Amino acid sequence: MVEVRNIYKSYGLTRALRGVSFTVPHGNFMVLVGPNGSGKTTLLKVLSGLTRSEHGSVAIDGRDIRNDSSQVRRRTGVVLHQNMLYGELTARGNLNFYAQMYGLRNPDERILQVVAQMGMTAHIDQRVSSMSHGMAKRISIARALLHNPDVLLLDEPETGLDEEGIEILKNIVIGKNEAGIRKTVLMSTHNISQWLEISDRVLVMAAGRVVHDGPSSMLSAASLRKVYQELVEVER
Ligand code: ADP
Ligand code: MG
């Protein structure tokens, strides 16, 4: 579960987040949409501990991200725009580095597993710097899955992925953990129609605020587009 309470975050005079609150229930897949500059990336950075908010709190599986950051990191997998990979290392080298950081018990086996899951076995010993954007994105997703987190925070993860890559990603966000429980996923996208059907909830942001938070089943892509336009216009 992800619980976000009254988050405020500014960059100088720019108020990127202005009192954001919502909950992603355990095992739910929540899609985050909103126009450019509405605060999606900032929100995901705050949730993943990359940026500090000035106000408010975030709890992941009941643990405060500030007071319990190492426990939170073990439970959370993050894919942001920066792929957080070392270009001069191979895919395997990168994953080895992260496996050590997480103290994984069978790193070699687990690395083969996540690389195969992402359809990148043939490229496991290729340097990341020589990979296409989509290939590096696949390795970045493999990195986020490495420690089998219960919670995934994904910022437009389909960017650069081909159709097969997107299918793999779909299986991941509706996938189950070792205990057979679905992961809790918060994912931003500009392609709502691609994700609406398999998502549980939709969160719409505009100008640093949540303007809609509800179940996906209530919405068709067309009605969501209408709601979206109205809500986003009002905030502007
Ligand atoms: P989104 O991901 O929805 O497009 P962002 O979270 O990236 O939105 O940006 C929200 C607002 O914060 C925008 O006005 C943006 O210009 C500003 N912002 C984001 N990151 C920075 C930064 N590092 N420095 C200054 N302003 C930033
Ligand atoms: Mg963004």
Query: What are the boundaries of each domain within the chain?
Result: 2-79+145-235
Ligand 1 atom closest to the Cα of residue 34 is 3
Closest listed residue to residue 143, CA positions, set 71, 86, 189: 86
User: Is 140 touching ligand 1 by the criterion CB < 6 Å?
Assistant: no
Model confidence pTM above 0.85: yes
Model pLDDT, residue 217: 81
**Closest-approaching ligand to the CA atom of 46:** 1
User: Is 39 touching ligand 1 by the criterion CB < 6 Å?
Assistant: yes
**Helices and strands in the chain: count of H runs, count of E runs:** 8, 10
- Whether 111 and 96 have beta carbons less than 8 Å apart is answered as yes
Closest listed residue to residue 94, CA positions, set 102, 104, 84: 84
Model pLDDT, residue 235: 61
Ligand 1 atom closest to the Cα of residue 42 is 6
Strand partners, 154: 79, 187
Ligand 2 centroid–CA 122 distance in Å is: 31
Backbone angles phi, psi at 223, to 5 degrees: -70, -35
Backbone angles phi, psi at 143, to 5 degrees: -60, -40
Model pLDDT, residue 177: 65
Q: Assign residue 80 a region: left if phi > 0, alpha if psi is -120 to 50, beta otherwise?
A: beta
Ligand 1 centroid–CA 16 distance in Å is: 6
**Token pair belonging to 127:** 């340097």
- In three-state form (DSSP H/G/I as H, E/B as E, the rest C), the secondary structure along 112-134 is HHHHHHCCCHHHCCCEHHHCCHH
User: Is 53 touching ligand 1 by the criterion CB < 6 Å?
Assistant: no
What's the fold here for domain 2-79+145-235? Rossmann fold (3.40.50)
Model pLDDT, residue 57: 95
SS3 of residue 207 by DSSP: coil
Instruction: Kindly report each contact of residues 228-234 with a partner whose C-beta sits within 8 Å and lies 24 or more positions away, as own/partner.
Output: 228/33, 228/192, 228/204, 231/204, 231/206, 232/34, 232/35, 232/38, 232/204, 232/206, 234/206
All residues at 6 or more sequence positions from 196 whose CB lies less than 8 Å from its CB, including other chains: 31, 202, 216, 219, 220, 221, 224
Tens digits of pLDDT across the chain (236 residues): 999 999 999 999 999 999 999 999 999 999 999 999 999 999 999 999 999 999 999 999 999 998 888 888 889 999 999 889 999 999 999 999 999 999 999 899 999 999 999 999 999 999 999 999 999 999 999 999 999 999 999 999 999 999 999 999 999 999 876 677 789 999 999 998 899 989 999 999 999 999 999 898 877 777 777 777 777 766 65
Model pLDDT, residue 81: 92
